[in-house]
Chains A and B, each alone.
Chain A
């Protein structure tokens, strides 16, 4: 019985850990930062919430720019967003930031690496629950987002799931039956870029101070 209980305790702990993390920070910041920016020499981490950076007014502003309402349960203003300001010496060479986005079969964790001007230099799914997760994770698909910036997403209507013009309109759904995940991906990336832009310009966030260059 003694040994049984030990196993019980072990498994209980294992299961508890499985549901411990809900936010969208990097799984292994040291490894992930180096992989996305091999030339980096360090990074700084900042956690920002919409509530702290500007509250309800800021939330409305973000929703307007996004063209969609936030989910009241999973996109509440007190959700902390993690920003990794990547440094080479004292110079900021980019940022890494992720968002949780509701997908077709589960939560998506979308991670963007951007240069100091806000252009995407890397994108990957940190988490995606889908029967077609492999096609979404395929480099041929994720590389399509390289070079895009918030400006490119301005023509993308997240409610309609379509863009009439521009580079985003050329990105095709790689899946057969997971169109909702494709649209969720584009919504999540647009939201991610808007949040970065907003937080960089909100003095309360503290992010703009770090990214001086």
Chain B
């Protein structure tokens, strides 16, 4: 009979208690994996979202930083406008690889959001937009027929919501304008999926903002020149510069505090599981005092007893680790579903990203947890004196 089978048999004696302890470890591991998976997934999704904006720098009209922030994500309300002349000036800068002017406008549509009304975003763009966002490809249709055409290209989701296809019309409330749909973008997984795009000049005309822009997206030839470039633009009157690196850093700082909390929760779950395992094994040791005494009396060494008890503890954590990993994988969609409802902002993309490495680390962690948790009960058991143990066991 091997040490392993002895340990298995001992655990099988109290099936319910062993299963409950394994369950506790599994839950702790599943929580740990889910939280770490969320940590990795959230950062990955957010980075992807920001990178998919396509530009490293956004130039906006000087004003409230709140407006700049709303513009950055995809427009928002209460926007400030700057003169198109600024674009003409910046576009000549040799450090720029790609640049695109944008005019974001909003219209309140009382039909949106289940009849409660919602803001529809319209963005005036020119062909440079596609150069900056090469992933913005057409599902159907194509580009506008002219710079001032009364036409629209729809983001994937808004087209689906409005059941539009190229050739169809759309109605812009508030300004009472009808436009012809000429193209629908493929899904990008970004906020652009919910935007209706117009030729820049058409947007300026329809929304009564001739010669105005809300933003200029810029990608530099050499990212190393970003600091100087930003510095030069800070001297331009009436505009402000927001770098994506700055935004990313701020968001990650926000996440860092949330990460500390989630890690603390995971740690507490692990500690509780360890205490549960120690408690279970100690109870098992006390119940088997006489048996351990007999084993020692007939020749079992301290090391033999230590090894059996240690093996039991490790087995509990090993099985719990496997079950926890499986629970975490099985519950990924459920966790993501819940997170998307409770988080103030959930970027598009996979929020809980569980990798094989993460599963491996959590599994090894569970085994180590078992090894540590087993030391004290195993020591107690191996330290028993045979005669005393037999007497106490009676």
Enumerate chain A residues within 8 angstroms of B251, measured Cβ to Cβ: 5
Whether B145 sits at the interface, judged by CB under 8 Å, is no
A7 touches B344 (CB 8 A): no
**Stretch of A11-19, A90-98, A150-158 that contacts chain B:** A11-19
Whether A1 sits at the interface, judged by CB under 8 Å, is yes
* Assembly CA distance A100 to B157 (angstroms): 15
Name the distance in Å between B301's Cβ and chain A's nearest Cβ. Answer: 62
Whether A10 touches B344, Cβ cut-off 8 Å, given contacts A4-B66, A19-B194, is: yes
B70 touches A8 (CB 8 A): yes
**Looking at chain A's contact residues, is the secondary structure mostly helix, strand, loop, or mixed?**
mixed
Contact of B163 among A2, A7, A74 (CB under 8 A): A74
Name the distance in Å between A129's Cβ and chain B's nearest Cβ. Answer: 5
* Assembly CA distance A13 to B344 (angstroms): 7
A4 touches B65 (CB 8 A): yes
- The size class of the interface chain A forms with chain B is 35 or more
Name the distance in Å between A27's Cβ and chain B's nearest Cβ. Answer: 4
Contact of B69 among A5, A19, A104, A129 (CB under 8 A): A5
Whether A73 sits at the interface, judged by CB under 8 Å, is yes
* Assembly CA distance A128 to B109 (angstroms): 10
Enumerate chain B residues within 8 angstroms of A11, measured Cβ to Cβ: 69-70, 73-74, 76
* Assembly CA distance A133 to B109 (angstroms): 12
B170 touches A13 (CB 8 A): no
* Assembly CA distance A106 to B158 (angstroms): 10
| Chain B, residue nearest A25 (CB) | B114
Whether A18 touches B113, Cβ cut-off 8 Å, given contacts A1-B250, A10-B344, A12-B191, is: yes
Enumerate chain A residues within 8 angstroms of B163, measured Cβ to Cβ: 71, 73-74, 100, 102-103, 106-107
B73 touches A127 (CB 8 A): no
Proximity bits, A22-36, B CB within 8 Å = 1, else 0: 100001100000000
Contact of A15 among B111, B194, B347 (CB under 8 A): B194
A19 touches B158 (CB 8 A): yes
* Assembly CA distance A10 to B74 (angstroms): 12
Whether A104 touches B254, Cβ cut-off 8 Å, given contacts A4-B69, A12-B73, A19-B157, is: no
Whether B247 sits at the interface, judged by CB under 8 Å, is yes
B170 touches A105 (CB 8 A): yes
Name the distance in Å between A184's Cβ and chain B's nearest Cβ. Answer: 10
B115 touches A131 (CB 8 A): no
Name the distance in Å between B241's Cβ and chain A's nearest Cβ. Answer: 13
A12 touches B162 (CB 8 A): no
Whether B119 sits at the interface, judged by CB under 8 Å, is yes
A2 touches B113 (CB 8 A): no
With A15-B121, A71-B163 given, can you name 5 additional A-B contacts, CB distance below 8 Å?
A11-B74, A13-B345, A104-B169, A131-B171, A131-B178
| A-B complex: 10 closest residue pairs judged by Cβ atoms | A9-B345, A4-B69, A105-B171, A27-B114, A106-B162, A107-B163, A8-B69, A102-B163, A19-B157, A4-B65
Interface positions of B (Cβ within 8 A of A): 65-66, 68-70, 72-74, 76, 109, 111-116, 118-121, 157-158, 160-165, 168-171, 173, 176, 178, 191, 193-194, 246-247, 250-251, 253-254, 344-348
Interface positions of A (Cβ within 8 A of B): 1-5, 7-19, 21-22, 27-28, 71, 73-74, 100, 102-107, 126-131, 133
A-B contact pairs, 21 of them (CB 8 A): A1-B65, A1-B250, A2-B254, A8-B70, A8-B73, A8-B247, A9-B344, A10-B344, A15-B74, A15-B121, A16-B348, A18-B112, A18-B113, A18-B119, A19-B157, A27-B116, A104-B169, A105-B170, A106-B171, A126-B115, A131-B178
